[in-house]
Amino acid sequence: MTDTYLVEPDVEFIKDVKALGGGDVKKCFQCATCAVVCPISPDTKPFPRKEMIAASWGLKDRLVKDSDIWLCHQCGDCSDKCPRGAKPGDVLSALRSYAVAAYAKPKFLADWVNDPKKLPILFAIPVVIFLVIGLLTGQLNFSPEPGAIVQAKFFSVILVQIIFPLLALLLTVSLVLSLKDYLNDIHADAVLYGRTKKKELDYKELGQALVRVLPIILKQDKFSECSENSDRDTPHLMVLYSFIGLAIVTGIFFVVLDVFRIPGPYSQLNPVKWLANVSGVTLLIGSGLMIKNRLSKKDDQVSMYKDWYLLGLVFGVGLTGMLTEMTRLAGTACPTYFFYFLHLMFVFVLFMSLPYSKLAHIAYRTVVMAYNEYSGRK
């Protein structure tokens, strides 16, 4: 006898999905074209058809812990081929944003990050923190000594090393707790529906699976399989590797300053400076191309505040960093210190947004790809 499943639609959830960019979900009539044309959809239980069914029915509990929404790279193939214009790619994007907010800790920060009215508050937070701590510790110097322009004379490296490590620690704890809950939920779901025979999650094996999928992530193999929006491939790769390059530079200079006590500024011939400059230019160009590409998408891709928020922050980090470097080389102290302060604010807000914005896909998608490798799903 067939089991009975009681469907309890959540009307408010459907409204939330529409508000996050999935406004055409009700146009879907379940032809399965989206699942057929998607080049990266798995052979077993392919997406996004089942997600479109669940979203139109308002099955929030099922979709929030659905790992397949993170396998989608929103290339637009499904939306372009949809005969009804239901835009499955945008629906999955909306579901990802909802899932991030659902697992966020604390949740109010996710609400703030996704609310345009809270943007001034998000930028006011680092301004107040930097000014208050700087004045209390005496590390904030608004009257730099004449001579060579050194950012540390305006805004002490010690102050930066107090705030950002603390921020990184808090965000890491927040993201780890969110990912742990999410991972436990998708594993429990996989056990329930027989997608894995491993009752207990083995973190050692999961770590080994992560190592195996990292090359796929770094080469963007799945992203490159998409066809309709292939122009997004190169800019996305540029931004990814520019962040990796800048992270390496930050780590090296942290050691140089703290361990070897070698103060800046450093020669432009320094190989680490070369990496920093190349990464900065790449970040600026890559994010600029991503903005240009999104502006050119009129019908096949919906652009919401969550999209522009992240692109604006990434472009702002690259632009203020480049202006800081250029004005320092030009010997103009005041503009340099002004742009340096703006740069720190953009970096702070970008870091603070990591567990709560669209940027969280870096962590969630990586976890899901590792779990699929761990569970044997191809």
Residue-averaged pLDDT of the chain: 87
Torsion, Cα of 331, 333, 339, 343 (10° steps): 90
Average pLDDT over residues 38-51: 87
Instruction: Answer yes or no: is pLDDT of 179 > 90.
Output: yes
Q: What is the pLDDT of residue 2?
A: 57
- Residue 324 corresponds to which amino acid? T
Q: What is the pLDDT of residue 17?
A: 92
Residue with tokens 């230019």: 281
Q: What is the pLDDT of residue 252?
A: 87
Average pLDDT over residues 176-193: 91
User: Which of 110-119, 171-180, 195-204 is predicted least confidently?
Assistant: 195-204
Residue 145: how many other CB atoms lie within 10 Å? 9
Higher pLDDT, 306 or 261: 306
- Which tens digit of pLDDT belongs to each residue from 125-162? 999 988 888 888 776 666 656 666 777 667 777 777 78
229 pLDDT band (50/70/90 cuts)?
low
Extended beta strands in 236-331, E state: none
pTM of the model: 0.89
Largest CA distance in the chain: 85
- All domains of the chain in start order, with CATH: 11-103 (1.10.1060.10), 107-375 (no CATH)
Q: What is the pLDDT of residue 142?
A: 60
Instruction: Answer yes or no: is pLDDT of 171 > 60.
Output: yes
Instruction: Answer yes or no: is pLDDT of 309 > 90.
Output: yes
